[in-house]
Structure 1
Amino acid sequence: MLEQARQAIRAGQIQRALALWEQVSSAAEGAQLLLEHLGVLISLHRYGESGALREKLLTHPDTTPAPLLSAARILFQYGRIRDAACFTARALELDPANPDTAAMHAAALERSGRREAARELLLELLRGQPTHLRAVRLLAHIERLDGAFDAARQRLEAHLSRHPSVEDWRLRYELAAVLDRLGDYEAAMRQLALAKHQIRSGSQAHHDAWRALATRQWELTRALDADRLQRWSVTTGGRPPMPRICLLAGFPRSGTTLLEQILCAHPGCLGTDETGILATQFRNPLALAPASAAAAMDGLDALDAEQLAAGRAEYLRATEDRVGEALDDRLLIEKEPLLTGDLAVPLRLFPEAKILMPLRDPRDVVVSFFFTIVPLAPHSVAAAGLPETCRYYAEVLRHWLWLRDRIDPQRWMESRYEDLLSRPGVQTRRLCSFLGLEWSPGMLAHHRAAPGKDIGTPTYDDVSRPLYTRARGRWENYRRWLEPHLDLLEPYLDAFGYR
């Protein structure tokens, strides 16, 4: 039966696979099978069906730390950080002397808002294992978040000087962020250069995938002429009714998380916080899997009303499972910074969707992306160097310059990060007008709505703070390094009014 369940998954026979897996888990004697079943449910965006299974895995008499930690990683990636912490806690209970388990539990505690508990655990760990690299990095990270920049710098520099290793790049990324806050910009760039050099061979392995993806995306976007978009914009009917949805695109570090949190402080909105569902469940099979961009566009054109309705229903089911809430009659904010290069699929799936494009000074965006993103995946390999990062920004935002001249202007709005900071009342009212919402004063206190919510993006800590302006004009601190590559950004400085 186990092999039948696995084969059903591979064949796409979802309902049969789910029924078989339920039978397998009911008779399972080992934790490993329970873990595999959990992975299946989460991969199918059926987390809501996994409660009894998770409890069974947590309390299994023969469980060991290994499957518990694997489950924690799966849950963490799915955005269920507090649930992940339950599994790391159980693993640590079974193996209290394991420093790696303790560090992983501390990371889950910190990300789920229990920073003081994480700090205490890390300090205890480091008393017995003072050279544990990940514990050192996480404790310095907490110190940086708390504003203890000198302590974080001393901690990181001491470890780097005394205990060099192939994992130093993790510490150097953190140290660069600390040095930036201390105003030592030369040293910050030096640490970033060392970190990126250390992982260069690993990042280069993703270069070809990055270029292939960029090529396919651009071919698809250029096929979106005004006539095709007009044909797609016609409501095709079908059941269930089409959800109200706003596509929040942009570019990483453009203020996308801040904008989503401000909008979702409104009682009439529900945010997704980068679920990746559009990419994995729709873009990959519809836009990337076909042999050519032309074949992909032919397939999108050929979708009929019934297929589109089924796609929307599956998207909504998976999204509600991922965020853990029913949409009801709220406006869904589908936030994904790199959706900008993949708008063809959601524009086909949601012909009435509005598009909200967050903008921020491209120079600030590039510097922030360069500092934040570790280049170990096709979507982030561009962060390996400043020229590549500038090129990446240009390649992503060219999609928007193409589309905004071809989409009905009533369907899209650009929102500048700087306007949110300087005139939040005016800008939030403008956003509400565009989205058909009544303005809510809670939007000006978005940080008070953040506690209690798991936020999976790298800027998770920022949304718990009131609006601040220190990141505006940050690029000026790095003008010397950025200036040789500004020609790549000039068209976007002009197009978005940042001269």
Structure 2
Amino acid sequence: MRRERPKPLRTSDRGGATPRVGKASPAEKFMGEGLTALHAEDYERARECFARAVQADWRHAPARLFLARAQGLAGRASECAIEMERLVQIAPRDAALLIEAGQTLEKFGLFEQAGGLYERALGADAASVDARVRLASNAERLHRLEQAESFASEALTRNPLAHEATLVLARVQRRTGRGDAAIETLQGTLTRSEPPDFAGARLWYELASVFDGQGRFKDAASALGRAKLLLAERRRVLAPAGEEAEYTLRRFAQELTPSRVQQWIEASAGLASARISALVGFPRSGTTLLEQVLAAHPLIESVEESQHLSTELVTGFYRAVTGADSLAQVLDRIAAGDVRRCRENYLRAMAAHVGGPLGEKWLLDKNPIRTLMMPVLRRAVPGAPFVVALRDPRDVVLSNLMQAFEPSAMNVAFLDVAHAGAFYALHMGGWLKLREMIDGWIEVRYEDVVVDPPAQARRVLDLLALPWHEALDHFQDATRGRAVRSPTYAAVREQVHTRAVRRFEHYADYLAPALPAIEPIIKALGYA
């Protein structure tokens, strides 16, 4: 399955500066190889190359920045943060570099540490609008809404065209019950000077969210249309890569047969079991809420939306097999030694998130949209149990259409209503086929979780053979301080509610183009 390549650090539209590489530095001879490894998703190799660059020139800031990123991508978040501290010691007054470093930390969920770097950036450049924008966004992400509003207002006072500050201010206004103020904030900017491309689309998406919260569903649908119109060129450019990813997935689903899956199971029988489980489904199916409930258990460590299953197992398997032109053929042909090596890399990367011995704990690999990759996980970790989050397909598709995802090959389908429906049907139609061929899984419905979270958690604990723990009765208290990388980070602070159940009923006309593709899935999953 085609995955997004990690982007090199670059000048951002928020003011981050691309580190300049000094030609005379001895670190240079290692940088190219490190970047090649990074782009190939060989993160351990990238770590080695950038570490050698740092050894060659310990003051080479770009090498340290890329080393930190490779550490994070390899699952070593604590080492990523340590490397950033060393970078600060090298360039304590370089505001642009500090902002770039903070943005890197945020990619790996290190929001508190990122905020510290933004504060240092503002200390280094008291006039910096970019530092204020980053502090505003960071504070809103950490639910410090008064602080977020203050920084956003300061940024807009200094630069009324700081569009991300407008976005943060509107989010704070919406989250604090001031929907009319949020509409005024957003429409004022969009009327005066609509930003192009994704910057403008994010404002329209936020406006749609505000309208939705006020029950103005036709206005919300109109705002969504404006957002996607601004992203039409992105859609055109990304279409070939998106089609390639969908073809790979479609072919894998077509090539699944009971005998083939059984062959993979038997080939992995000699491997030891491991306390690894997965939480999959489709984005916006309730995986974040269910993960928050389960993570309150002291014997469950959740790893949220890492790339390790893709990079260490899927990509690792592909690299090990020559001449295969499909993932099913890779699983057919991969040698036992290569499976063991990729398995060790995956388990090491996952365990790095825990920061200590795993002991009796289960690692929960939360990875929505990786449902059809469960045979790959089982090839490396025999019998690994997994949970498939379900939700009414109409609500799932609608919710994805309402998200301000930065366009990529893996989400370009959500820029068009009909395509979004087909994309969902591809994934979940594949699951309907796969679930008849394997065992050791359960399905958990979002509609049941929001009514009785502990009851659904008990079903997962039974799957994992874990006892009940009283912390799950108060899971929001137990997980309140956890950083959430999902786009639904704001929702985890709310009390569990049923407002999002059957939201699609308010968007019948807007959602109509998606229905032909998803109607068979609606019936098969019992949502008709």
Counterpart CA distance in 1 for 2:176 and 2:109 is 24
Q: In the alignment, does 2:291 pair up with 1:260?
A: yes
Equivalent residues, number:
495
Counterpart CA distance in 2 for 1:226 and 1:81 is 45
Q: 1:14 to 1:152 in 2, by over 3 A?
A: closer
Q: Which residue of 2 aligns with 1:54?
A: 84
Q: Which residue of 1 aligns with 2:401?
A: 370
Task: After TM superposition, list the pairs within 5 Å mapping 1:123-134 onto structure 2.
Answer: 123-134=153-164
**Structure 2 counterpart SS, 1:104:** helix
Q: 1:289 to 1:103 in 2, by over 3 A?
A: farther
Q: 1:135 to 1:348 in 2, by over 3 A?
A: same
Question: Contact 2:387–2:443 at 8 Å: present in 1 too?
Answer: yes
Q: In the alignment, does 2:224 pair up with 1:199?
A: no
Q: Which amino acid is 1:6 matched to?
A: M
Counterpart CA distance in 2 for 1:8 and 1:126 is 41
Question: Contact 1:287–1:345 at 8 Å: present in 2 too?
Answer: no
Q: Which residue of 1 aligns with 2:185?
A: 155
Task: After TM superposition, give the deviation of residue 61 of structure 1 in Å.
Answer: 4.8
| Unmatched 5+ stretches in structure 1 | none
Q: Which residue of 2 aligns with 1:492?
A: 521
Which sits farther off after the overlay, 30-39 or 372-381?
30-39
Counterpart CA distance in 2 for 1:168 and 1:218 is 33
Question: Contact 1:141–1:174 at 8 Å: present in 2 too?
Answer: yes
Q: 1:165 to 1:391 in 2, by over 3 A?
A: same
Q: Which amino acid is 1:121 matched to?
A: F
Task: After TM superposition, give the deviation of residue 175 of structure 1 in Å.
Answer: 0.4
Normalising by the residue count of structure 1, what TM-score does the alignment of the two structures yield? 0.91
Question: Contact 2:50–2:63 at 8 Å: present in 1 too?
Answer: no
**Structure 2 counterpart SS, 1:338:** coil
Counterpart CA distance in 2 for 1:467 and 1:186 is 26
Q: Which residue of 2 aligns with 1:391?
A: 422
Q: Which residue of 1 aligns with 2:4?
A: none
Task: After TM superposition, list the pairs within 5 Å mapping 1:28-427 onto structure 2.
Answer: 28-61=58-91, 63-166=93-196, 167-234=199-266, 235-237=268-270, 242-287=273-318, 294=325, 296-322=327-353, 324=355, 326-374=357-405, 376-408=407-439, 411-427=440-456
Counterpart CA distance in 2 for 1:288 and 1:397 is 27
Counterpart CA distance in 2 for 1:117 and 1:340 is 39
RMSD: 2.6
Counterpart CA distance in 2 for 1:452 and 1:465 is 14
Q: Which residue of 1 aligns with 2:14?
A: none
| Unmatched 5+ stretches in structure 2 | 1-25
Q: In the alignment, does 2:486 pair up with 1:434?
A: no
Q: Which amino acid is 2:209 matched to?
A: A
**Structure 2 counterpart SS, 1:413:** strand
Deviation string for 1:433-483 (max 9, x for gaps)?
Answer: 222121223223222223221110101121222211100010011012223
Q: 1:43 to 1:420 in 2, by over 3 A?
A: closer
Task: After TM superposition, give the deviation of residue 271 of structure 1 in Å.
Answer: 0.8
Question: Contact 2:296–2:471 at 8 Å: present in 1 too?
Answer: yes
Question: Contact 2:252–2:326 at 8 Å: present in 1 too?
Answer: no
Counterpart CA distance in 1 for 2:53 and 2:185 is 51
Q: Which amino acid is 1:418 matched to?
A: E
Task: After TM superposition, give the deviation of residue 115 of structure 1 in Å.
Answer: 2.8
Q: Which residue of 1 aligns with 2:473?
A: 444
Q: 1:293 to 1:197 in 2, by over 3 A?
A: farther
Which sits farther off after the overlay, 111-120 or 73-82?
111-120
Task: After TM superposition, give the deviation of residue 394 of structure 1 in Å.
Answer: 0.5
Question: Contact 1:25–1:34 at 8 Å: present in 2 too?
Answer: no
Q: 1:323 to 1:77 in 2, by over 3 A?
A: farther
Task: After TM superposition, give the deviation of residue 183 of structure 1 in Å.
Answer: 0.6
Counterpart CA distance in 2 for 1:312 and 1:283 is 11
Q: Which amino acid is 1:232 matched to?
A: W
**Structure 2 counterpart SS, 1:272:** strand
Counterpart CA distance in 1 for 2:425 and 2:323 is 23
Task: After TM superposition, give the deviation of residue 323 of structure 1 in Å.
Answer: 5.5
Counterpart CA distance in 2 for 1:26 and 1:250 is 45
Q: Which residue of 2 aligns with 1:6?
A: 31
Deviation string for 1:31-54 (max 9, x for gaps)?
Answer: 333223323433444443345432
Q: Which residue of 2 aligns with 1:473?
A: 502
Q: Which amino acid is 1:436 matched to?
A: A
Q: In the alignment, does 2:487 pair up with 1:458?
A: yes
Task: After TM superposition, give the deviation of residue 220 of structure 1 in Å.
Answer: 1.9
Counterpart CA distance in 1 for 2:379 and 2:245 is 20
Deviation string for 1:381-440 (max 9, x for gaps)?
Answer: 1111211111111011011011011113xx111111111122334322222222212122
Normalising by the residue count of structure 2, what TM-score does the alignment of the two structures yield? 0.86
Question: Contact 2:44–2:70 at 8 Å: present in 1 too?
Answer: no
Which sits farther off after the overlay, 308-317 or 174-183?
308-317
Counterpart CA distance in 2 for 1:13 and 1:111 is 27
Task: After TM superposition, give the deviation of residue 190 of structure 1 in Å.
Answer: 0.8
Question: Contact 2:301–2:363 at 8 Å: present in 1 too?
Answer: yes
Counterpart CA distance in 2 for 1:203 and 1:79 is 28
